Amino acid sequence: DVKVTQSSRYLVKRTGEKVFLECVQDMDHENMFWYRQDPGLGLRLIYFSYDVKMKEKGDIPEGYSVSREKKERFSLILESASTNQTSMYLCASSSDSNEQFFGPGTRLTVL
Amino acid sequence: QKEVEQNSGPLSVPEGAIASLNCTYSDRGSQSFFWYRQYSGKSPELIMSIYSNGDKEDGRFTAQLNKASQYVSLLIRDSQPSDSATYLCAATLGGYQKVTFGTGTKLQVIP
């Protein structure tokens, strides 16, 4: 089975802090994704990556950056957290089939 | 116009009935379509993938694709209370690896 893990299930940070969310997959997938999910807005793509050191902006990249130094690891960085970044963050990975497999999610609260 | 559109529901069906979930998409060039199930507080879980016109069956689930009408559906036979969840439709739009999700239909199976 594909396994995607995320570094934290719940996280509470203060406005202005730098936040790192980490995601690791064990199935040698080329593609990795970061989404946020908010009630009524569904899943929105923040960034994705086709390969190591490659990254592409999704639909809502503002306020976020990413890092992919190793194939299995994809990190999402909030440079200066703001209250409007309070959300559920979901990482996913996929092979060429485009079937995405999700991690358990990180519920981030920014105070 | 939303790129992948679903009725938000809730769709209520009695236990043992067939639940029919529908989805439309905007990009005629879409090639891959997916249904995910998401329980409250959990991450999405892949149920079915469908790539060609027609029906695809897996246990109690049948996915139906009609590319001419830009329509995808999911049928759940013999619905169980454990099927109560939000069902997300997704499609590849505008790019091979990028998948766009609908906002989901909430299904309630009444015992």
Spans of chain A, pLDDT less than 50: none
Asked if B56 and B42 touch (Cβ cutoff 8 Å), the reply is: no
Phi, psi (rounded to 5 degrees) for B7: -75, 130
Q: What pLDDT is stored for residue A96 in this prediction?
A: 83
Q: What pLDDT is stored for residue B110 in this prediction?
A: 97
pLDDT category at B8 given cuts 50, 70, 90 is confident
Residues B86-111: pLDDT tens digits?
999 999 876 566 789 999 999 999 99
* Nearest CB to A42; choose among B42, B43, B104: B104
CB interface of A with B, residues 48-67, below 8 Å: 48, 50, 58
Q: Which of B38, B90, B100, B11 is CA-nearest to residue A88?
A: B38
Residues B31-48: pLDDT tens digits?
899 999 999 999 999 999
The 10 Å Cβ neighbour count of residue B38 is 19
Strand locations in B8-110 (E): 11-14, 19-25, 33-38, 45-50, 54-58, 61-66, 71-76, 85-92, 99-101, 105-110
Q: Is the pLDDT of residue B58 over 80?
A: yes
pLDDT category at B61 given cuts 50, 70, 90 is very high
CB-CB under 8 Å, B92 with A42: no
Q: What pLDDT is stored for residue B1 in this prediction?
A: 59
Q: What pLDDT is stored for residue B96 in this prediction?
A: 61
Average pLDDT over residues B5-29: 93
Q: Mean pLDDT of all residues in chain B?
A: 93
Q: What pLDDT is stored for residue B38 in this prediction?
A: 97
The verdict on B97 touching A (C-beta cutoff 8 Å) is yes
DSSP-derived secondary structure letter, A26: S
Asked if B89 and B34 touch (Cβ cutoff 8 Å), the reply is: yes
pLDDT category at B2 given cuts 50, 70, 90 is low
Q: What pLDDT is stored for residue B97 in this prediction?
A: 65
CA distance B75 to chain A (A): 20
Angle ∠(B46,B52,B55) on CA atoms, nearest 5 = 75
How far is CA A62 from its chain centroid? 14
The verdict on B74 touching A (C-beta cutoff 8 Å) is no
Q: What pLDDT is stored for residue B95 in this prediction?
A: 59
Which residues does chain A have within 8 Å of residue B94's beta carbon, measured at their own beta carbons?
Answer: none
Bridge partners (DSSP) listed for residue A61? none
Average pLDDT over residues B16-25: 96
